[in-house]
Structure 1
Amino acid sequence: MTRRSGWPVESAVEDSGDPGADRMDSGPPFSSRAEKGAPRDPAEQARSICLRLLTGMPRTRKQLADALYKREIPEEVAEEVLARFEEVGLIDDAAFADAWVESRHHGRGLARRALAQELRTKGVDSAVIEDAVGQLDADQEEDTARELVARKLRASRGLERDKRLRRLAGMLARKGYSEGLALRVVRRALEEEGEDPELPEHHF
């Protein structure tokens, strides 16, 4: 997968994908900071907030805009600062999406559907999401599903074949794989292991 810029992949995925893990603590209200000698100029304050948040990990424009809104930065000031950050490359939603897809797919085995949902929660534009997840083709996605099943197959031994099917296919479903792909991959893995390939149909 070609990355559009130098965003470090590891930095882009410090959270678990859980929206609750993506909180951005932007500190106390602007008025209280001003009383402590913080910059009173809203533009300077906005730049300071954005730089501090970007120091920890890449952020989408929407995430930074939300942080500025919570700090009561005037909308026109926020837009001006965010536009400038985009202009100089400090905000790059396309690069963020590419890094997110690459790391979350290879690191956690997430399928395109799950990756797209995560990026939507971060405010990434639909066209950018489509481009990023489109870099994973169907063969690559299926290969990853097979690897995931292979890792979990041994732990399911000793269970009834029907329960193994449901457990392994359910694991893939939670990672965003389609029902058809999940069932096909699990059936093949069980067949190769020596299980009866004629497993019953199931929905999960």
Structure 2
Amino acid sequence: MTESPYARRRRRSSARSRGPEGPAASSPAASDPEPDPREVARAIVLRQLTASAKSRKQLEDKLADRNVPEDVAREVLDRFEEVRLVDDAQYAELYVRSRASSRKLSRSALRRELASRGVTGEVAEEALEQRTDDDERADAAELVRRKLPAGTDLSDRTERDRAVRRLVGMLGRKGYAPGLAFSIVQEELAARADGAELDGELDGTYPDPS
């Protein structure tokens, strides 16, 4: 029997209402439950810790950037601290060791960097105890030896003073106090001159590294 135009229209209308996968249903956005903010926060923290060690403040900032409610962030991070996956003391110890080795930073510079990551007070000071005065002097001297060009004419007062200012400034940017920086530069220049008497005293002026 030939299908009537009316029947064909009804069949097409019914197919459209069912959609490609059967009877019409509410959209996924409307039917799917909202994700648990705690699970979202946990996933963010785990991704961050997988990439590299982080302080609690760094993780708090990342969760805030992702609009995780503050109370949820606090609860999740408290739990991570309980299981020692977030540990500012351990983080600070590793951070000081790594940055002192790779960048030869002074304790004052390391203290500032830790503070910017939310690690201060007793936790920071205990981590910084890894570094002694002798460690700092040795690292500063190594930096000077590394940065002083081999061809520097130390017998030329102008060239020598220019090298002093540049080297003291370099140490200052790494957090070394001006007096200590100048003392170490003097020692290293004298050693480079192999004990020979230099043309006059080293210029006692040096740039303020701040």
Measure the CA separation in 2 of the matches of 1:116 and 1:162: 31
Q: Are the counterparts in 2 of residues 156 and 164 from structure 1 also a CA contact under 8 Å?
A: no
What does residue 180 of structure 1 align with? 179
**1:160 counterpart SS class:** helix
What does residue 12 of structure 1 align with? none
Matches within 5 A, 1:97-116: 97-116=92-111
Among 89, 94, 99, the residue aligned to 2:89: 94
What does residue 138 of structure 1 align with? 133
Task: List alignment gaps of at least 5 residues for structure 2.
Answer: 1-28
Cα drift, residue 114 of structure 1: 0.8
Among 76, 83, 108, the residue aligned to 2:71: 76
Q: Could you tell me which amino acid in structure 1 is paired with residue 126 of structure 2?
A: D
Cα drift, residue 202 of structure 1: 1.2
Deviations 1:30-80 (A, max 9, x none): xxxx89x79711111110110011110011100111111122222211111
Matches within 5 A, 1:112-123: 112-123=107-118
- Give the paired residue count: 170
Cα gap change, 1:73/1:178 in structure 2, threshold over 3 Å: closer, same or farther? same
Cα drift, residue 92 of structure 1: 0.9
Measure the CA separation in 2 of the matches of 1:65 and 1:185: 41
Q: Are the counterparts in 2 of residues 116 and 133 from structure 1 also a CA contact under 8 Å?
A: yes
Q: Could you tell me which amino acid in structure 1 is paired with residue 115 of structure 2?
A: R
Higher relative contact order (CA 8 A, sep 6+): 1
Measure the CA separation in 1 of the matches of 2:168 and 2:37: 52
Q: Could you tell me which amino acid in structure 2 is paired with residue 169 of structure 1?
A: V
Q: Are the counterparts in 2 of residues 169 and 182 from structure 1 also a CA contact under 8 Å?
A: yes
What does residue 188 of structure 2 align with? 189
Deviations 1:95-127 (A, max 9, x none): 111111111111111111111111111111322
Among 190, 200, 204, the residue aligned to 2:203: 200
Measure the CA separation in 2 of the matches of 1:124 and 1:133: 11
Cα gap change, 1:64/1:139 in structure 2, threshold over 3 Å: closer, same or farther? same
Cα gap change, 1:69/1:181 in structure 2, threshold over 3 Å: closer, same or farther? same
Percent identical across equivalent pairs? 48
Q: Are the counterparts in 2 of residues 69 and 75 from structure 1 also a CA contact under 8 Å?
A: yes
What does residue 129 of structure 1 align with? 124
What does residue 19 of structure 1 align with? none
Show structure 1 runs of 4+ deviating over 3 A: none
Measure the CA separation in 2 of the matches of 1:174 and 1:156: 24
TM-score (norm 2): 0.75
Cα gap change, 1:45/1:161 in structure 2, threshold over 3 Å: closer, same or farther? same
TM-score (norm 1): 0.77
Query: Residue 152 in 1 paired to residue 150 in 2?
Result: no
Q: Could you tell me which amino acid in structure 2 is paired with residue 202 of structure 1?
A: T
**1:157 counterpart SS class:** coil
Q: Could you tell me which amino acid in structure 2 is paired with residue 141 of structure 1?
A: E
Task: List alignment gaps of at least 5 residues for structure 1.
Answer: 1-33
Larger Rg: 2
Q: Are the counterparts in 2 of residues 39 and 45 from structure 1 also a CA contact under 8 Å?
A: no
